[in-house]
Amino acid sequence: MPKNKKIFLLAIFVVLIASFSLHQPLINLFKDKTPPAEQIPSFKSINSTIEQGDTLFSIFLDHGLRTEDLFAMKSAAASIHPLKALRPGKAYSIVLDEQNFINSFTYGIDDDTILKIERVENQFQARKYDIPYETRILTVSGTIEDNLISAVGTERENYLLALQVADILAWDIDFNTDLRTGDTFRIITEGLYLNGDFKKYGKILAVEFINNNQAYRAFLFEHGDKPNYYDAAGNSLRKAFLKAPLSFRRISSHFSKSRFHPVLKIYRPHHGIDYTAPTGTPVSTVGDGKITFAGRKGAYGKLIIISHRNGYQTYYGHLSRFAKGIHMGKNVKQGDLIGYVGATGLATGPHLHYEMRQGKAPINPFRVKNVAGEPVPKTQMAEFKKQTLTLDKIFAAAIFYDARQEESKKYCLNPEMLAEYRNSSKASKPQS
């Protein structure tokens, strides 16, 4: 992210937090305690961000504030959000009365939550507040030139949107090796806004990805405890095995520090699949199972074997090391980190040797497509159809803006389409 952009976003956040502390009518969360406007001038406020090495104690020392207040605030916040956990880069605001007593302390815990400690009748009270975003619906699209992240945009919010897309389709598309120049995607997603400004993306409602001339579509449908994605017929996209043992999300975050996204190559010189990848690239299990081997084995070098349901086994060879806590007999969940790419055993360079067997026989993992998730329940099918029909209409009629253009976030869906979507999705949620 460009530096001045980051500073700009930070500035917005500082202003937001400051407005929380000063009881401005910007957000009506605190109107029950809003003092008359003429009382405000006697308060002063400190608006800043936590810096590396800052503690609340050092901040208090810097501003000559009372340590009694600090201790009282700490104990008030202890069970809500310990003040030891202040993180560099987060915005905070302190409001003081004319005698430098703390009136309130406000701190941005994360993108969704604000901590507020307030003096109420000479005692501190701590509470967490959700940042009250307004949800709009955005349509974004792109074309793959080299990888998903460069197509969606490297700026933080776009980057997170790209990872969401990769997660939704992780059972069908290996975003490290399957993408082709000219692949296209269209996304219908929530955009979260504050005071009319785009802040971040929310949930993806639908995505369509054309990979190598094959279309993959996913529709969000929320029922029960967690949101799931389905194809147009209501089948779950979840399968027993992920498309690849090298997770796009893990690799992206692993290499983001060096600003380097390795282009992985895939080879099939034998009954397994080889992924060339830098030493240290995280390897994850493609499915739920139990580790039946974790050690050295001849040409495989450091090897992990995982047994899955229905007699399937997966092999991960030439690892440089195992992940923490990995040992024989351990149960693992799909996507868990198990080790790191290396060149142990008979390997000319760092790569992951991956193979799948059923019984003793090696099989092609790309042919195995057991759906593992439940389909949309029959009782909910009418609602699901109604909702996907609306999303289909949006796909057919809406303009999809280039994901990489900042401007695109100004253009949300036209109100009638949005109203229609809201009506159809409301039907599927339990009335509160």
Handedness of CA 228, 234, 235, 237 (dihedral sign): negative
Rounded Cα distance, 245 and 318, in Å? 14
Handedness of CA 146, 147, 151, 157 (dihedral sign): negative
Region near Zn ion per CB under 5 A, out of 89-97, 353-361, 365-373, 393-401: 353-361
Region near Zn ion per CB under 5 A, out of 224-232, 273-281, 286-294, 421-429: 273-281
Q: Which is nearer to Zn ion, 22 or 306 (CB)?
A: 306
Candidate residues 116, 199, 353, 357; the one interacting with Zn ion per rule CB under 5 A: 353
Q: Which is nearer to Zn ion, 256 or 364 (CB)?
A: 364
Going from the C-alpha of 141 to that of each of 171, 200, 215, the distances in angstroms are 21, 16, 14
Query: If binding is defined by CB under 5 A, does position 118 make contact with Zn ion?
Result: no
Q: How near is the Cβ of 365 to Zn ion at its closest, in Å?
A: 13
Query: If binding is defined by CB under 5 A, does position 274 make contact with Zn ion?
Result: yes
Q: How near is the Cβ of 145 to Zn ion at its closest, in Å?
A: 30
Q: How near is the Cβ of 296 to Zn ion at its closest, in Å?
A: 16
**DSSP annotation of 28:** G
Shortest CA distance to 140 belongs to which of 196, 182, 212, 202? Answer: 202
Q: Which is nearer to Zn ion, 101 or 267 (CB)?
A: 267
| The two structure tokens encoding residue 87 | 């993180």
Region near Zn ion per CB under 5 A, out of 148-156, 256-264, 326-334, 348-356: 348-356
Q: Which is nearer to Zn ion, 217 or 353 (CB)?
A: 353
Query: If binding is defined by CB under 5 A, does position 190 make contact with Zn ion?
Result: no
Region near Zn ion per CB under 5 A, out of 83-91, 163-171, 215-223, 268-276: 268-276
Place of tokens 């709009």: 136
Region near Zn ion per CB under 5 A, out of 71-79, 258-266, 270-278, 372-380: 270-278
Q: Is 155 left (phi over 0), alpha (psi -120 to 50) or beta?
A: beta
Task: Classify strands 351-358 and 289-296 as parallel, antiparallel or unpaired.
Answer: unpaired
Q: How near is the Cβ of 176 to Zn ion at its closest, in Å?
A: 17
Q: Which is nearer to Zn ion, 270 or 422 (CB)?
A: 270
| 203 phi/psi in degrees, rounded to 5 | -75, 145
Q: How near is the Cβ of 267 to Zn ion at its closest, in Å?
A: 8
Rounded Cα distance, 238 and 343, in Å? 32
Q: How near is the Cβ of 269 to Zn ion at its closest, in Å?
A: 6
Element (H, E) at 57: helix 56-62
**Closest chain position to Zn ion (CB):** 353
Q: Which is nearer to Zn ion, 272 or 301 (CB)?
A: 272
Query: If binding is defined by CB under 5 A, does position 318 make contact with Zn ion?
Result: no
- Strand, helix or coil at 403? coil
Q: How near is the Cβ of 361 to Zn ion at its closest, in Å?
A: 17
Q: Between the CA atoms of 283, 287, 290 and 295, what dihedral angle is there, to the nearest 10 degrees?
A: -20
| The two structure tokens encoding residue 302 | 């450091």
Query: For the chain, percent helix, then strand, then coil, each to nearest 5?
Result: 30, 30, 40
Region near Zn ion per CB under 5 A, out of 146-154, 171-179, 264-272, 341-349: 264-272
| The two structure tokens encoding residue 387 | 């909702």
Task: Classify strands 228-230 and 214-221 as parallel, antiparallel or unpaired.
Answer: antiparallel
Query: If binding is defined by CB under 5 A, does position 272 make contact with Zn ion?
Result: yes
Q: What is the contact surface with Zn ion in residues (CB under 5 A)?
A: 272, 274, 353
